[in-house]
Amino acid sequence: MLKMLKILIILLTILNSNIYASFIFNKYGARASSMGMAYAAVSDDASAPFFNPGGLAQIKQKEAKIMIYYPIIQELSLNTGTASFVYPYKQYGTFSLSWGGMAVWEMYYENSFIFSYGNNFGFLDYGIGLKYLTISYGEDEYTRANPVFIEYGYSQSAFSIDIGILMPVYKAVKAGLSVQNLNQPDIGLKNKSNVWRKYNLGFAGNIYSHTYFNLNPCIQISLRKSIISFHTGIEALMKHLPISLRTGTDYNSFSIGTGYNIMDQYIIDYGFNFPFNIKGAYGSHCIEMTYKF
């Protein structure tokens, strides 16, 4: 059964780009994941390059972040990780270097290497991300006998561009708009397989302040190819404790999470995501660690 699943993934990836598209996995952040991925109008930490590079303009001190995402799915080994470093440089804006990767067994790998820049112009925060995308396939008895791999090799790469903006719209509420993979690069081996362009429009902000906590909801609508998805989330920031509580949902999963802030320098975030429509899935764990300096 395991071998058959491996073959199925390879066939879907190589032979039918209309069924499977590369770089559609986006659980790049424990905080974002636990808020339903409604992050286009948030993006105020080192995970901004993965959601909206315009959010980099909000970051005023250096940050280093790593994340590990581990889903529990029967007969499937899928692991995801990210690392990001953000460097605000005086009035010249904020720069970042980021990496995000995914591995399915030892058969399929995706990697994104991102150089991003963000700054502000008046009330408008804007940003751009230049991405180097790579896919590669493992070598075994099946791939060695496949004529596609024999002729075209086991890897492919392409460059892509993300852009984004953030702006205030009403009191403590802001709007965020990002376009990911603007140029829709071709990442296929034999047949053309474009990384689909994705549009994200979101709103986020503080709508309720209590003696003990602030409530910050966020919503987002995304469009990839002809598929529209809705994302909602909320974050409760405790005023007298270094703790935050989060929950969210999107079109196919429900999430909860928490964060622990140590002296506003060390931050540990955790998210648990439960999918609605994946048989044999028992949820996914995501942990993220941030160091501000």
**Cα separation of 246 and 270, whole Å?**
10
Q: What is the pLDDT of residues 42-75, one digit of tens each?
A: 999 999 999 999 999 999 999 999 999 887 765 6
The pLDDT of 135-151, averaged and rounded, is: 87
Confirm whether 238 is domain-assigned: yes
CB 234 within 8 A of CB 256: no
Q: What percent of the chain has pLDDT over 70?
A: 89
Q: Domain containing 49 — which CATH number?
A: 2.40.160.60
Provide the residue range defining the domain that includes 276. 2-13+27-292
Which of the four pLDDT bands, split at 50, 70 and 90, describes residue 112? very high
Element holding 106 (H helix, E strand): none
Which of the four pLDDT bands, split at 50, 70 and 90, describes residue 140? confident
- In this predicted structure, the answer to whether residue 5 has a pLDDT above a threshold of 80 is no
Confirm whether 110 is domain-assigned: yes
CA 49 to chain centre: 8
Confirm whether 21 is domain-assigned: no
Which of the four pLDDT bands, split at 50, 70 and 90, describes residue 142? confident
Q: In the prediction, which pLDDT does 262 show?
A: 95
Sign of the alpha-carbon torsion through 35, 224, 66, 114: negative
- In this predicted structure, the answer to whether residue 20 has a pLDDT above a threshold of 70 is no
Confirm whether 237 is domain-assigned: yes
- In this predicted structure, the answer to whether residue 10 has a pLDDT above a threshold of 60 is no
- In this predicted structure, the answer to whether residue 101 has a pLDDT above a threshold of 70 is yes
Mean pLDDT of the chain: 89
Confirm whether 31 is domain-assigned: yes
Give how many domains the chain has, as a whole number: 1
User: Model pTM?
Assistant: 0.89
- Residue 181: which of 71, 24, 18 has the closest Cα? 24
Confirm whether 211 is domain-assigned: yes
